[in-house]
Amino acid sequence: MTNKISVSIWRGKSDGEYQTYEVELRENQTVLDIVTEVQRQHEPSLAYRFACRVGVCGSCAMTVNGVPRWTCRTHVNQVTKNNSLTIGPLRNLPVIKDLVVDMKPFFKKWQTAGASFTGGKTRHDPVATISSESPGRKAADAGIECINCAVCYSACDVVGWDDSYAGPAALNRIWTLVNDERQVNKRAVLDAAFADGGCGSCHSQGNCTRHCPVELSPSESIAALKRSAFMGLPKTGAVESNKIDTGADRES
Amino acid sequence: MNPLRSHKSYLAFVGHRLSGVALALFLPLHFLLLGTAINDADALQRALAFTDHPLVKVAEWGLVVLLTVHLLFGLRILALEMTSWPSRYDNRTSWVIPALVISLLAGVIFWLQS
Ligand code: SF4
Ligand code: SF4
Ligand code: FES
């Protein structure tokens, strides 16, 4: 006897509806496997996005039982409720078709919030030597691994309520920039974070941190940005010139 | 229940806002009552009689609870935003339930004293 699971998948644009498919349960099956099986066996016109299938690219994010997730890193048995599963497109972004959303607003806000690196050196200058132990580098490192999957953006209520809100990922990126010794004009970067739709709009509900698949904490980064309204730019620590960390002094 | 809204920091968010709105509505009435009472002795008597009404008692009790909720949730936000976090994921949700319990206790004490 084969076990089946009942899977409801969003079909159409924002005015679409859920359709239900009976899908065979297999061992070690991910939600992405389910979507693929539905497309291969039941609904050839089903649109969805994925690339790496191993949690590297971040393109497979969807809403699974009401929560944004990377479907390739979500096992079916972790999330199934009463032998059924609901899979929809990411919240807070326009639906193009079925499970595919338009990521443009997400990237656009990232840019308008000023969340991209500007250095002051050219390729002819020596490479900056930054101590991995400096407070600035540590703070930047804590938030740097973002892969722009928009899971946090989709989990955030404020993004849904306030069109102008830059969102957790962009603000998290700004926090890494003001901690990066190589970033020029940090004051302007920080000021931009306090513009309309900036860090002041965050309600600290922490959905971004709760759902970020890389386990970053945009919510903490945003709190730190807010704090710098009183404390000023964070201390990044001095560049230790000519000292290259070879790892030799690291405990093995 | 929306899984994105069933957690303690959402409860704190809603609690803080609703108590804020309720206070903004209630407090002016409260002060109006006090103000008229101070200006004229008859009004004071009437006001005191009015506050003996059980419904008014309940409203005042609610005011005390709301004030405490708003104060404590506000302190949580201040701690959250003004001090560095004990860990990357600790947005001080552990304050939420104690804050509610303390508020109810404040309500009980007020009730017993009045
Ligand atoms: S912060 Fe996390 S959830 Fe948000 S875009 Fe980056 S990786 Fe994705
Ligand atoms: S903590 Fe701020 S950015 Fe994160 S989900 Fe909540 S409101 Fe959005
Ligand atoms: S397909 Fe690349 S993260 Fe899921």
- Domains detected in chain B: 9-113 (1.20.1300.10)
Lowest mean pLDDT among A115-124, A228-237, B33-42: B33-42
Closest ligand 3 atom, CA of A71? 4
Residue-wise pLDDT for A152-209, tens only, equals 999 999 999 999 999 999 999 999 999 999 999 999 999 999 999 999 999 999 999 9
Q: List chain B residues with CB under 8 Å of A226.
A: 81
B52 near A CB under 8 A: no
Closest ligand 2 atom, CA of A209? 4
Question: Mean pLDDT throughout A27-32?
Answer: 95
Number of A/B CB contacts below 8 angstroms equals 47
Q: What is the pLDDT of residue A247?
A: 46
Q: What is the pLDDT of residue A188?
A: 94
Ligand 3 pocket test: pick from A49, A57, A100, A145 the residue with the most ligand atoms within 8 Å of its Cβ: A57
Question: Mean pLDDT throughout A68-73?
Answer: 98
Instruction: Report which protein residue has its CA nearest ligand 1's atom 5.
Output: A148
Nearest Cα to A63, choosing from A44, A39, A79, A43?
A: A79
Q: Which residue has 């003996």 as its token pair?
A: B52
Residues sharing a CB contact under 8 Å with residue B96, sequence separation 6 or more, in sequence order:
B8, B9, B11, B12, B73, B76
Mean pLDDT of chain A: 92
Closest CB to A155 among B4, B13, B88: B4
Instruction: Report which protein residue has its CA nearest ligand 1's atom 4.
Output: A152
Q: What is the pTM of this model?
A: 0.89
Residues sharing a CB contact under 8 Å with residue A63, sequence separation 6 or more, in sequence order:
A69, A86, A87, A88, A89, A90, A91, A154
Domains of chain A: 4-101 (3.10.20.30), 104-231 (1.10.1060.10)
Question: Mean pLDDT throughout A230-245?
Answer: 67
Q: What is the pLDDT of residue A2?
A: 65
**Residue A248: is its pLDDT beyond 70?**
no
CA of A68 to the centre of ligand 1 (A): 11
